[in-house]
Chains A and B, each alone.
Chain A
Amino acid sequence: MKHEIIIAGFGGQGVLSMGKILAYAGLLDGLEVTWMPSYGPEQRGGTANVTVILSDSAISSPVLDTFDIAVILNQQSLDKFESHVKPGGLLIYDPYGIHRKPERSDINCVPINATEASVEMGNAKAYNMILLGALLRLCPMVSPDTVIAGLKKTLPERHHHLIPMNRQAIDRGAEIAGL
Chain B
Amino acid sequence: MEEDVKLMKGNEALAHAAVRYGADGYFGYPITPQSEVLETLEELMPWETTGMTVLQAESEVAAINMVYGGASCGRAVMTSSSSPGVSLKMEGISYIAAGELPALIVNVMRGGPGLGTIQPSQADYFQATKGGGHGDYHLIVLAPNSVQEMADFVGLGFDLAFKYRTPAMILADGVVGQMMEKVVLPPVRPRRTQAEIIEQCPWAVTGKRGRGHRNVSTTLELQSNEMEKNNIRLRQTYDLIEANETRSEEFMTEDAEYLIVAFGCTSRICRKAIEDARAQGIKVGLLRPITLWPFPKEAVCRLSKQVKGILVAELNNGQMIEDVRLSLSVGSSVPVCHFGRTGGIVPNPQEVIDSLLSNFPQSK
Contacts and interface: CB of A to CB of B under 8 A. Distances in A.
Contacts of B265: 62-63
A37 B181 CA distance: 12
Interface string A31-43: 0111111011100
B7 A33 contact: yes
A24 B7 CA distance: 7
A161 to B, nearest CB: 23
A28 to B, nearest CB: 6
Interface in A62-84: 62-66
A60 interface: yes
The CB with the most chain A CB atoms within 10 A, among B174, B182, B268, B273, is that of B182
A88 interface: no
Interface of B: 1, 5, 7, 32-33, 118-119, 174-175, 178-182, 265, 268-269, 271-273, 275, 346-351
A131 B310 CA distance: 45
Contacts of B349: 60-61, 63-65
A87 interface: no
Contacts of A64: 272, 348-349
Contacts of B178: 36-37, 39
Contacts of A169: none
A59 B272 CA distance: 8
Closest 6 CB pairs of A and B: A61-B272, A65-B348, A35-B180, A60-B271, A60-B272, A36-B179
Given A60-B268, A62-B175, A62-B179, 5 more contacts: A33-B181, A35-B179, A39-B178, A61-B272, A64-B349
Contacts of A35: 7, 179-181
18 contacts: A33-B180, A33-B181, A33-B182, A34-B181, A35-B179, A36-B178, A40-B32, A41-B118, A60-B268, A60-B269, A60-B275, A60-B349, A61-B268, A61-B269, A61-B273, A62-B181, A62-B268, A63-B175
B182 A32 contact: yes
Contacts of B269: 60-61, 63
B1 to A, nearest CB: 6
Interface in A23-56: 23-24, 27-28, 30, 32-37, 39-41
B111 to A, nearest CB: 11
Contacts of B1: 27-28, 30
A64 B182 CA distance: 19
A61 B179 contact: no
Contacts of B5: 27
Contacts of A20: 7, 180
Contacts of A28: 1
Contacts of A62: 175, 179, 181, 265, 268
A23 B180 contact: yes
Contact of B118 (A27, A30, A39, A63): A39
A23 B346 contact: no
A33 B180 CA distance: 8
Contacts of B119: 39-40
Nearest to A53: B181
A41 B344 CA distance: 13
A23 B7 CA distance: 8
Contacts of B351: 65
A8 B271 CA distance: 25
Contact of B33 (A39, A59, A63): A39
A143 B13 CA distance: 27
